[in-house]
Amino acid sequence: MLPTEHQRRAYLDALGIDVWVPRDAAEPEPDIADAEPVPESADWDTLRDAVAGCTRCALCESRTQTVFGVGNPDADWMIIGEAPGAEEDRRGEPFVGRAGKLLDEMLRAVGQGRDRAFIANILKCRPPNNRDPKPDESAACRAYLERQIEMVAPKIILAVGRIAAQLLLDSDAPVGRMRGSLHHLGDIPLVVTYHPAYLLRSPTQKRKAWDDLCLAQRVIEGARA
């Protein structure tokens, strides 16, 4: 079977090749304005099904499966990363590669294993070649994450990495400037830290990530006091 235009573009995108497509020759992109809105009252099963069948952006053409999120739906800690990588796309679970193992260790160090926290990503589908999410992709996925945040109602959100922090806080500041202080998403406290993949490359920064986790822990303890 011949590849669709979306598949061809996703493939060229994965190779980092820009293609010029005449406006009238382009296959229509999935129109997110026409996509079913996420019902405000969607429960976990409804939301999970909506994500599993999502065609709001072109990433649906290249994914193996969606990566919904994992963990305790009543968690105190909600961890939000960028997007699934190759291993996550294969297994359908966020943060299961090398970076995920480091994230697990970091969370265990503050008493929040994978089963106690809730872990999700800005995007539920893997961008080809692990490129950064495009604005239309994160916009298309936003309602799913918002409903997840609403249902978990965490005491703290930990945004891991530049992309998650910038998109959640609508900022273009670097992580180094956003970490180390307390932010809010609505009325939920939010702490920014380095992405574990970056920490694998720059282990000397692990100390700062530890400080960020301690800040998050102090916020929760302050809320309990």
Positions touching ligand URA (CB under 6 A) are 81-85, 88, 94-95, 99-100, 121, 161
Supply 208's token pair.
């700062």
| Closer to ligand URA by Cβ: residue 70 or 188 | 70
Q: Least separation, in Å, of the C-beta of 161 and ligand URA?
A: 6
CA distance 22 to 24: 6
Q: Yes or no: say if 75 and 107 are a contact pair by the CB < 8 Å rule.
A: no
| Closer to ligand URA by Cβ: residue 12 or 86 | 86
Q: Which residue is nearest to ligand URA (CB)?
A: 81
Q: Yes or no: say if 142 and 152 are a contact pair by the CB < 8 Å rule.
A: no
Q: Least separation, in Å, of the C-beta of 223 and ligand URA?
A: 26
| Closer to ligand URA by Cβ: residue 44 or 198 | 198
CA distance 119 to 198: 18
* SS3 at position 21: coil
Q: Least separation, in Å, of the C-beta of 52 and ligand URA?
A: 16
Q: In this structure, what DSSP letter does residue 193 have?
A: E
Q: Least separation, in Å, of the C-beta of 119 and ligand URA?
A: 8
Backbone angles phi, psi at 138, to 5 degrees: -70, -30
Q: In this structure, what DSSP letter does residue 3 have?
A: P
Supply 183's token pair.
């932010």
* SS3 at position 70: strand
| Closer to ligand URA by Cβ: residue 79 or 215 | 79
| Closer to ligand URA by Cβ: residue 9 or 209 | 209
Say which amino acid occupies 220.
I
| Closer to ligand URA by Cβ: residue 9 or 179 | 179
Q: Least separation, in Å, of the C-beta of 100 and ligand URA?
A: 6
Q: Least separation, in Å, of the C-beta of 93 and ligand URA?
A: 8
Q: How many CA atoms lie within 13 A of 216 on its CB side?
A: 30
Say which amino acid occupies 42.
A
